[in-house]
Amino acid sequence: MKTVFVIGSNSFSGSDFIDLLLETDRYNVVGLSRSPEKTGLFLPYKKRLDSSNFEFHQIDLNHDMLKLFSLLVDREPAYIVNFAAQSEVAPSWENPDQWFQTNTVSIAKLSNFLKDQKWLEKYVHISSPEVYGTCDGNITEVAPINPTTPYAASKAAGDLMLLTLVKSFSFPLVIIRSTNVYGSCQQLFKIIPRSIIYLKSGRKIELHGAGEAIKSYIHIRDVSLGQLVAMERGKIGEIYHFSPDQGIRVRDLVKKICQVIGKDFRSNTIDVGERLGQDKAYVIDSTKARNQFLWLPEITLTDGLQQVRNWVEEEWDLICSEPLEYVHRP
């Protein structure tokens, strides 16, 4: 079996992708993260009875690059899928240099090394639609970048660095941009699990900007399936979008969550000021992936929300011992 390196394996998206790879049973999988491996509360693959073709290594892109190079040369993975990033938007205003260090500088170091490795068949880079700024209208893969936050700017800079390697060295790059992923095992501070937890514990849900921003929520497994087909069949130098059919106001999303839980929306929410740099719309076009890969999102938002609710109910005792706010690590 070919080997896949998943960088950022502790992340929500990275861990689900690993779970999918192990489900296919077609690959040896190596997970890498700067932190020790998390528990099964946040890593779905930990619940698998057989994970003999998976191994984990604690490696920090910002501090252990030589260690990573050595491991890569030793294992010679056919595929590398990189989820690692400083990915929160609002905190990026406080320490933008840390976002650029991870999302740009370390990407430049890693890709400069990888461009000379003959064993690498595909490097799949997980980007973000945030690089486009407000995504209003028909935002395809050729839309100009227009970042409005330090996070978005750092991701855009990393993407541009990678694309230069395609032009000059035929670097085997594929870039993925997907919209707002959600699902079981997601970080608790994200809007969907946090709202369910707040409703269950009697806390009011804060709606920034009255919840008028439009987001495009897509189940993580639908995105992972798209990433897998892009890894296997994506064209070198191409960007692929994975998104649902339409967006939804955050306000309406929380209304749906309240319906799933059986709680009143008005008495359980409060409007607060908007976040700095919040884009008004976050809707992108995924026609290219749908046509080229015959990919389609299959899990409805209602079904996905029910799955997250079930996860919260099943893991409630463990969830109660975890922080509900974002904790920044430089």
Tell me the pLDDT tens digit for each residue of 116-172.
999 999 999 999 999 998 767 779 999 999 999 999 999 999 999 999 999 999 999
Contacts of residue 141, defined as CB under 8 A and 6 or more positions apart, other chains included, come to 177, 238, 239, 240, 241, 288
Query: Would you state the pLDDT for residue 234?
Result: 98
Give the residue-averaged pLDDT of 194-206: 96
> Considering just the CA atoms, what is the radius of gyration of the chain in Å?
19
45 neighbors 19 (Cβ within 8 angstroms): yes
Q: Give the pair of three-digit tokens for residue 250.
A: 């955050």
Average pLDDT, the chain: 95
**CA–CA separation, 81 and 53 (whole Å):** 17
Bridge pairing between strands 79-82 and 2-7: parallel
pLDDT, position 277:
62
C-alpha–C-alpha distance, residues 138 and 144, integer Å: 12
pLDDT of residue 279: 62
3 state DSSP class of 202 = coil
Q: What is the pLDDT of residues 53-112, one digit of tens each?
A: 999 999 999 999 999 999 999 999 999 999 999 988 989 999 999 999 999 999 999 999
- pLDDT tens, 225-257? 999 999 999 999 999 999 999 899 999 999 999
- Give pLDDT, residue 327: 82
**Confidence band of 326 (pLDDT split at 50, 70, 90):** confident
For residue 260, the model assigns a pLDDT of 95
Give the helix ranges, DSSP H, for 82-123: 96-100, 106-114
Q: Please give the model's pTM, rounded to 2 decimal places.
A: 0.95
Residue 278 clears pLDDT 70, i.e. is over it:
no
Mean pLDDT of 263-283: 83
From 24-28, 204-208, 281-285, the region with the lowest mean pLDDT: 281-285
Q: Spell out the domains of the chain, with CATH numbers in brackets.
A: 2-181+217-242 (3.40.50.720), 187-215+247-281+300-319 (3.90.25.10)
In angstroms, the CA 142 to CA 249 distance is 25
Mean pLDDT of 256-271: 96
Mean pLDDT of 5-9: 98
Per this entry, what is the length of the chain?
Answer: 330
The phi and psi torsions of 214 (rounded to 5 degrees) equal: -100, 125
| DSSP code string of 171-217 | --EEEEEE-EEE-TT--TTSHHHHHHHHHHHTPPEEEEGGG--EE-E
* Angle at which helices 12-24 and 220-233 cross, to 10°: 60
Question: How far is Cα of residue 324 from the mean position of the Cα atoms in its chain?
Answer: 19
**The token pair that represents 15 in the structure block:** 């861990």
Task: Report the percentage of the chain scoring pLDDT > 70.
Answer: 97
**What's the pLDDT score for residue 328?**
81
Give the distance from CA 198 to its chain's centroid. 23
Cβ count within 10 A of residue 145: 16
